[in-house]
Amino acid sequence: MYATINDVDEIAGVSVDLSTLKKAQAIIETASGRPEELVTDPTDAIWLRKAVAYQCAYMEEDPTSVFEQPNLESYSHGDDKMVMGTKKVWLSPLAQEAITRVSWRKSRFVSFPPTNYRKEKRRQDCETSWMRNRWWSW
């Protein structure tokens, strides 16, 4: 488990039972895309512990409500128009914010050292010239 009942009380100020904690754990594992067994980085474990605590607080009054609520964005009575939303209503907004901080959800930006383009162009031209003069030796 990412969090214990005492962790939830300490972080979110909510007292929960073990079944609510297990449901929150399963939701966070699903939302983060990693089961607990694959998380080895201690920083990731801290963020996921907070995410479970926030999810428990979100599920405090009715632990099963996250499985039943519709993702309804708006409803108008005239001609009965319903617009379904794209938000994840089953996930606490604070838990979602904590999940974005884990290492495997961060940007994979790769930087390259600056290149001297004139020097590189000259090197390529010299190499091309050498290959053109030596084509017959292949």
The model's pLDDT over 71-127, given as tens digits with 9 standing for 90+, comes to: 666 667 777 776 666 666 788 889 999 999 999 887 777 777 777 888 989 999 988
Q: Please report the pLDDT score of residue 97 as a whole number.
A: 93
Say if residues 36 and 29 touch (Cβ distance below 8 Å): yes
82 CB-near residues (< 8 Å, 6+ apart) = 72, 74, 75
The reported pLDDT for the residue numbered 77 is: 75
* pLDDT at 65 exceeding the cut of 90: no
What does the pLDDT average to over 46-52? 96
Q: Can you give the pLDDT at residue 86?
A: 66
Pick the closest to residue 54 from 66, 42, 43 (CA basis): 66
Reported as a pLDDT band with limits 50, 70 and 90, residue 130 is confident
